[in-house]
């Protein structure tokens, strides 16, 4: 089936074809005909299944080729990254018509977003907080909205945005076309739909060949030790044929720490999480999408909107389960029918890790070699490692801090700290010259 078979206008079909998008996915096949007719829809589909075009193409087409200036369509999303991604997708579809799309979200200066509204943008994609803010300042009028879409509704609930969503619904006309999309349908979302939608049709889109997990994704589950996990990840990242890789972490701190660790080991990694400025997050995403960096580390919240060609693509999903998480894994295993009640105990030196992922034999966890020490920087005549962790380009700095630990860069068997053999490399014990200092205290200073 082609998009033209779903009664999509030729200019939109051509705009999609320009980007190599030719055939609709199941959620699009089911949603587009109903949405074109103005039917309210509750669409239940997994993240990454292509639902943006499922609601996006009908709302663009229903506006017409040359819509009047002013906000006619409102798409509400939970995160900044998803806001940018949805807006970009809609811009692709509107490439051959005059319709304008504006992305409205926090963490960015108001001026550019306000300018887009004043220029007459007909489609606004926004996060709840910034939408309410601009509306309260009378910079955004929702009085003429004809179409409203609530995307990732379950994540809105998780983030506590439902009161804001209710305020937004109260600001738009009572007579409108409404669509709601969510991966899951918890009670509060069902209640929201009943309150603000008119006789909606519930669509649950799954591929006929798909089970509870994506059929085109190979799933590997490993029980890994926390102290060895970085080394395991570093070796996985050297698997033959590895493409772009997204690593999800539980916390913002873990995302930041892992990005620094992998960068120190020589891997081109960037991070996206809530403690980063919006500008920094967008730089990371741009570098990842452009291929300048091929490893993205993200928290679950920030990961909403990370679209790197997921729908319909093949890939490998690797899940790490720590010992204390086994009770959680038991629930996940039953719910998703993985059939793996006991994940394989896995270390960075485990033979099955190499065979499962086609990792070259002898691979270690660093891409960069340790720069040789010079002169008085040596701790003794037998070591050739820098006093800083291997994989950095900055010159070594003397420190009198307490010792730190680093994995040696040697490729000799058993030399890595995670291999079960060899010894840890204790640093910070360089000989230093003793110096006598006297501190001058001015009048009125106390120790």
Q: Residue 441 — pLDDT band, cuts 50, 70, 90?
A: very low
Does any domain span residue 107? yes
Mean pLDDT of the chain: 82
What percentage of the chain exceeds 90 in pLDDT? 62
Residue 205 has pLDDT above 50, yes or no: yes
Structure confidence at residue 368 (pLDDT)? 62
Could you tell me if 381 and 338 lie in one domain?
Answer: no
Could you tell me if 44 and 193 lie in one domain?
Answer: yes
pTM over 0.85: no
Does any domain span residue 433? no
What percentage of the chain exceeds 70 in pLDDT? 77
CATH number at residue 329: 3.40.50.300
Could you tell me if 351 and 311 lie in one domain?
Answer: yes
| Cβ-based neighbour number of residue 222 at 10 Å | 20
Structure confidence at residue 375 (pLDDT)? 44
State pLDDT tens for residues 233-276: 999 999 999 999 999 998 999 999 999 999 999 999 999 988 88
Structure confidence at residue 420 (pLDDT)? 38
Could you tell me if 79 and 54 lie in one domain?
Answer: yes
Structure confidence at residue 208 (pLDDT)? 46
User: In degrees, to the nearest 5, what angle opens at C-alpha 308 toward C-alphas 307 and 311?
Assistant: 75
Most trustworthy range by pLDDT among 106-115, 210-219, 387-396, 404-413: 106-115
Residue 398 has pLDDT above 50, yes or no: no
Section 41-48 average pLDDT? 83
State pLDDT tens for residues 168-198: 999 999 999 999 999 888 999 999 999 999 9
Residue 47 has pLDDT above 90, yes or no: no
Structure confidence at residue 88 (pLDDT)? 94
Does any domain span residue 228? yes
| Full domain range(s) for residue 330 | 217-357
Could you tell me if 103 and 198 lie in one domain?
Answer: yes
Does any domain span residue 445? no
Could you tell me if 165 and 135 lie in one domain?
Answer: yes
Does any domain span residue 113? yes
Number of separate domains in the chain: 3
The residue out of 204, 233, 265 marking a domain boundary is 204
Does any domain span residue 332? yes
Could you tell me if 88 and 228 lie in one domain?
Answer: no
Does any domain span residue 443? no
State pLDDT tens for residues 332-366: 998 888 888 999 999 999 999 999 999 999 999 99
The residue out of 177, 204, 231 marking a domain boundary is 204
Could you tell me if 378 and 288 lie in one domain?
Answer: no
Structure confidence at residue 400 (pLDDT)? 43
Structure confidence at residue 353 (pLDDT)? 96
Lowest mean pLDDT among 15-29, 233-247, 283-297, 420-434: 420-434
| Angstrom distance (rounded) from CA 219 to CA 266 | 27
Structure confidence at residue 435 (pLDDT)? 44
The residue out of 182, 204, 226 marking a domain boundary is 204
Residue 83 has pLDDT above 50, yes or no: yes
| 47 or 352, greater pLDDT | 352
Structure confidence at residue 338 (pLDDT)? 84
Could you tell me if 54 and 184 lie in one domain?
Answer: yes
Could you tell me if 331 and 377 lie in one domain?
Answer: no
Residue 167 has pLDDT above 90, yes or no: yes
Could you tell me if 110 and 41 lie in one domain?
Answer: yes
| 97 or 439, greater pLDDT | 97
Could you tell me if 390 and 268 lie in one domain?
Answer: no
Does any domain span residue 436? no
């Amino acid at each position: 089936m082609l998009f033209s078979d779903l009664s999509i206008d030729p200019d939109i079909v051509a705009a999609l074809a320009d980007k190599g998008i030719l055939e609709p996915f199941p959620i699009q096949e089911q949603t587009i005909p109903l949405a074109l007719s103005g039917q309210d829809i509750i669409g239940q589909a997994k993240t990454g299944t292509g639902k943006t075009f499922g609601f996006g193409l009908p709302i663009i087409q229903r506006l017409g080729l040359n819509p009047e200036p002013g906000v006619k369509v409102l798409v509400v999303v939970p995160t900044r990254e998803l806001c940018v991604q949805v807006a970009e997708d809609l811009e692709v579809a509107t490439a051959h018509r005059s319709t304008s799309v504006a992305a409205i979200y926090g963490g960015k200066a108001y001026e550019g977003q306000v300018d887009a509204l004043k220029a007459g943008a007909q489609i606004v994609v926004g996060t709840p907080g910034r939408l309410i803010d601009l509306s309260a300042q009378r910079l955004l009028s929702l009085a003429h909205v004809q179409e409203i879409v609530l995307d990732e509704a379950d994540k809105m609930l998780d983030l506590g945005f439902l009161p804001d969503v209710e305020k937004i619904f109260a600001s738009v006309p009572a007579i409108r076309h409404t669509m709601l999309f969510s991966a899951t349908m918890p009670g509060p979302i069902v209640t929201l739909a009943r309150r603000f939608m008119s006789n909606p049709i519930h669509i649950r889109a799954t591929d006929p060949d798909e089970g509870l997990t994506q059929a085109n994704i190979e799933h590997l589950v490993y029980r890994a030790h926390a102290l060895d996990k970085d080394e395991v990840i570093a070796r996985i990242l050297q698997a033959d044929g590895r493409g772009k890789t997204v690593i999800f972490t539980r916390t913002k701190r873990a995302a930041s720490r892992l990005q620094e660790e992998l960068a120190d080991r020589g891997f081109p990694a960037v991070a996206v999480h809530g403690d980063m400025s919006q500008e920094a997050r967008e730089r990371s995403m741009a570098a990842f999408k452009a291929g300048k960096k091929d490893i993205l580390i993200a928290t679950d919240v920030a990961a909403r909107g990370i679209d790197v060609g997921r729908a319909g693509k093949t890939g490998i999903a690797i899940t790490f389960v720590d010992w204390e998480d086994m009770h959680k894994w038991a629930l996940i295993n039953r719910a998703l029918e993985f059939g793996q009640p006991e994940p394989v105990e896995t270390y960075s030196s485990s033979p099955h890790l190499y065979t499962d992922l086609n990792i070259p034999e002898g691979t270690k966890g660093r891409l960069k070699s340790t720069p040789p020490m010079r002169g008085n920087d040596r701790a003794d005549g037998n070591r050739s490692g820098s006093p800083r962790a291997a994989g950095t380009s900055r010159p070594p700095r003397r420190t009198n801090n307490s010792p730190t630990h680093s994995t040696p860069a040697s490729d000799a068997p058993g030399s890595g700290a995670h291999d079960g053999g060899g010894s840890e490399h204790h640093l910070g014990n360089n000989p230093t010259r003793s110096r006598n200092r006297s501190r001058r205290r001015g009048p009125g200073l106390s120790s």
